[in-house]
């Protein structure tokens, strides 16, 4: 027995006529335009979505970079303040007081000259701390219209003086100024350290 019964017979093919509908060129062109428009819209949407994703990624990267930069700036500022802190301490404890002491008498004379401009022919007095009157007297110019009385006041500390021209008075406190500068620097460095420790 043969195997022909197992194989399909291709010898007698029956051709079934298909209904061919005639499609006009206008309909085909319209279909092409609709397909092109759909493809173009889909491509546009994909491009917009990709651009939005890229913008979101760039924004996140920029925000992260700015945050890192801010942290780096604060860290650098903190390290700078810490490195300058010893210099500030030397400045306010040695250099500034010595400079103020060396120029204190000149400062008194400058203030007295300024006050005398507006109060001519008025009695002028300088009250200095004990031990400073001789240095102040030596710096006074001879150009004042009335003599200047220099007296020592036991209640005044070194670096303090009172000036009086007529009824006008001025207080000079160089040691208080140095202390104020020192307190300001200490407060500044303290706040920088606190910001670094607690953000």
- Residue 105: which residues within 8 A CB-CB, separation 6 or more? 132, 135, 136, 138, 139
Q: What tokens appear for 85 in the block?
A: 């802190």
Q: Which of 4-13, 59-68, 153-162 has the lowest mean pLDDT?
A: 4-13
β-pairing, 168-173 vs 124-128, is unpaired
SS3 103: helix
pLDDT tens digits for 43-102? 888 888 988 888 888 888 888 888 777 667 777 777 787 888 888 888 777 777 787 777
User: If you average pLDDT over every residue of the chain, what do you get?
Assistant: 80
pLDDT at 195 > cutoff 80: no
- Residue 120: which residues within 8 A CB-CB, separation 6 or more? 145
Catalogue the E-assigned strands of 6-118.
none
pLDDT tens digits for 169-187? 888 888 788 888 888 888 8
pLDDT at 20 > cutoff 70: no
Q: What are phi and psi of 40, to 5 degrees?
A: -65, -45
CA 124 vs CA 32, 103, 156, 168, 196: distances in Å = 107, 21, 18, 10, 53
Domain layout of the chain by residue ranges: 61-198
Q: Which of 36-45, 81-90, 122-131 has the lowest mean pLDDT?
A: 81-90
Within 13 Å, how many C-alpha atoms sit on residue 199's CB side? 3
Asked if residues 107 and 132 have their Cβ atoms less than 8 Å apart, the reply is no
- Residue 96: which residues within 8 A CB-CB, separation 6 or more? 178, 181
12 versus 176: the higher-pLDDT residue is: 176
Q: What are phi and psi of 126, to 5 degrees?
A: -125, 125
Tell me the whole-structure pTM to 2 decimals.
Answer: 0.48
Q: What are phi and psi of 5, to 5 degrees?
A: -70, -15
Over range 148-152, report the average pLDDT: 87
Q: How far apart are CA 111 and CA 172, in angstroms?
A: 9
């Amino acid at each position: 027995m043969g195997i022909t019964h197992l194989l399909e017979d291709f010898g007698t093919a029956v051709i079934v006529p298909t209904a061919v509908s005639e499609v006009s060129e206008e309909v085909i062109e319209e279909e092409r335009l609709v397909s092109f428009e759909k493809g173009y819209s889909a491509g546009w949407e994909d491009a917009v979505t990709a651009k939005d994703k890229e913008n979101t990624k760039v924004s996140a990267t920029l925000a992260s970079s700015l945050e890192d930069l801010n942290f780096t700036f604060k860290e650098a500022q903190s390290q700078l303040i810490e490195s300058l802190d010893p210099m500030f301490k030397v400045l306010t404890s040695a250099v500034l007081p010595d400079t103020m002491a060396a120029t204190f008498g000149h400062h008194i004379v400058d203030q007295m000259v300024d006050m005398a401009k507006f109060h001519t022919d008025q009695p002028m007095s300088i009250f200095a701390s004990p031990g400073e009157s001789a240095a102040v007297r030596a710096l006074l110019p001879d150009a004042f219209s009335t003599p200047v009385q220099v007296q020592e006041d036991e209640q005044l500390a070194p670096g303090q003086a009172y000036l009086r021209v007529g009824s006008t008075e001025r207080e000079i406190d160089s040691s208080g100024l140095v202390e104020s500068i020192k307190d300001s620097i200490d407060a500044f460095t303290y706040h920088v350290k606190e910001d670094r420790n607690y953000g």
